[in-house]
Amino acid sequence: NAGVTQTPKFQVLKTGQSMTLQCAQDMNHNSMYWYRQDPGMGLRLIYYSASEGTTDKGEVPNGYNVSRLNKREFSLRLESAAPSQTSVYFCASMIRDGSYNEQFFGPGTRLTVL
C-alpha cells in the first residue's frame, strides 16, 4: 500500500495563476482532508470530505475549491493564486466509524506564489 500520495511535491506559481493539487489514498478510507501548514501556526483545515460525494469548508477555505472525484481521490484547486497561499499543503485520510480514528497524512506539497 502506498498510503496517501500527493502530487506535485513542489510548485512555484505566479500571482493569478491556477493549479490543482492532487491527493489519492489506497486504504479505502471514507474521509479525506486538506490542511495547510504555516510557520508558528500548526496545521489548519481548509476543506474536508466526510464521505464520497460530500465536501465542507474547514477553518480557512477562502481562495480554494475541492473535488471529491471518487472514494480514492480528493483534489484542491487554487483558481487565482495569491502570495498569501504560499504554504505547505497536506492531504490526509481516515476511516470513520464513529469512534476515535487515526488520520494518515501524505508527504505534502510545498507551494510558492510569487
Partner 1 sequence: GNSVTQMEGPVTLSEEAFLTINCTYTATGYPSLFWYVQYPGEGLQLLLKATKADDKGSNKGFEATYRKETTSFHLEKGSVQVSDSAVYFCALSDVGGTSYGKLTFGQGTILTVHP
By the criterion CB under 8 A, which residues form the site for partner 1? 4, 31, 33, 35, 40-45, 48, 50, 56, 58, 90, 92, 94, 96, 98-103, 105-108
Listed in sequence order, the DSSP H helices in the chain are: none
Distance of closest approach, residue 17 Cβ to partner 1, in angstroms: 25
Closer residue to partner 1 in complex, CB, 18/101: 101
Compute the least distance from the CB of residue 47 to partner 1, in Å.
11
Sorted by sequence, the CB contacts under 8 Å of residue 32 that are 6+ apart come out as: 23, 25, 48, 49, 68, 74, 91, 92, 93, 94
Q: What is the residue whose three cell numbers read 471529491? A: 68
CB of residue 110 to partner 1, shortest distance in Å: 10
19 versus 45: smaller Cβ distance to partner 1: 45
